[in-house]
């Protein structure tokens, strides 16, 4: 197994939504932070595993993508507000773009992101799907 693959598997954030919760003001953020952007407290943040469930806050349908994503166009990129209050920018998968609406319930899924390098290392990460 290559060092790249081994290192990749040891990154918890790749397989979980790990955010931060401020012990002072109670706000939850994603990605993890070391300083609360709300009350500016350093060192009073704890890691929190986010549920991966939420609602579409806003979205856009990408019809003219970069070369890397031409094969999957059109596709939906959304800001999802998670149950805990944090917002995540993500791709919405397994749906027709015209079926997506603001306020739709969604849940996190793992999907292929890309294939890299001469070894063909496949990177996976989180995306979201409609929960209908």
Mean pLDDT of successive 10-residue segments in the chain (132 residues)? Answer: 56 75 93 88 86 97 91 95 96 96 96 76 87 83
Which pLDDT score is estimated for 42?
76
Diameter of the chain measured on Cα atoms:
47
Domain of residue 99 covers: 52-130
Instruction: For residue 8, tell me if it sits in a domain.
Output: no
Look up residue 59 and give its two tokens. Answer: 């979205």
Instruction: For residue 109, tell me if it sits in a domain.
Output: yes
Which pLDDT score is estimated for 22?
94
Instruction: For residue 93, tell me if it sits in a domain.
Output: yes
Closest CA to 130 of 103, 116, 122, 86: 103
Report the number of distinct structural domains present in the chain: 1
Instruction: For residue 122, tell me if it sits in a domain.
Output: yes
Closest CA to 92 of 58, 117, 118, 64: 58
Which pLDDT score is estimated for 5?
58
Instruction: For residue 28, tell me if it sits in a domain.
Output: no
Instruction: For residue 15, tell me if it sits in a domain.
Output: no
Instruction: For residue 42, tell me if it sits in a domain.
Output: no
Which pLDDT score is estimated for 4?
59
Closest CA to 5 of 85, 120, 129, 127: 120
Which pLDDT score is estimated for 132?
75
Under a CB-based contact definition with an 8 Å cutoff, are residues 89 and 82 in contact?
Answer: no
Instruction: For residue 17, tell me if it sits in a domain.
Output: no
Which residues are within 8 A (CB) of 90 and not within 5 positions of it... i.e. 6 or more apart? 77, 78, 79, 80, 126, 127, 128
Domain with 65 in it: what CATH number? 2.40.50
């Amino acid at each position: 197994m290559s060092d790249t693959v081994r290192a990749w598997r040891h990154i918890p954030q790749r397989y979980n939504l790990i955010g931060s919760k401020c012990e002072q003001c109670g706000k939850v953020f994603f990605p993890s932070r070391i300083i609360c952007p709300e009350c500016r407290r350093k060192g009073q943040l704890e890691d929190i595993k986010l549920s991966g469930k939420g609602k579409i806050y806003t979205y856009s349908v990408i019809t003219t993508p970069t070369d890397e994503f031409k094969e999957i166009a059109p596709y939906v990129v959304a800001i999802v507000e998670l149950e805990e209050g944090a917002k995540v920018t993500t791709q919405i998968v397994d749906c027709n773009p015209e079926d997506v609406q603001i306020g739709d319930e969604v849940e996190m899924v793992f999907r292929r992101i890309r294939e890299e390098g001469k070894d063909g290392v496949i990177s996976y990460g989180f995306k979201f799907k409609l929960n209908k």
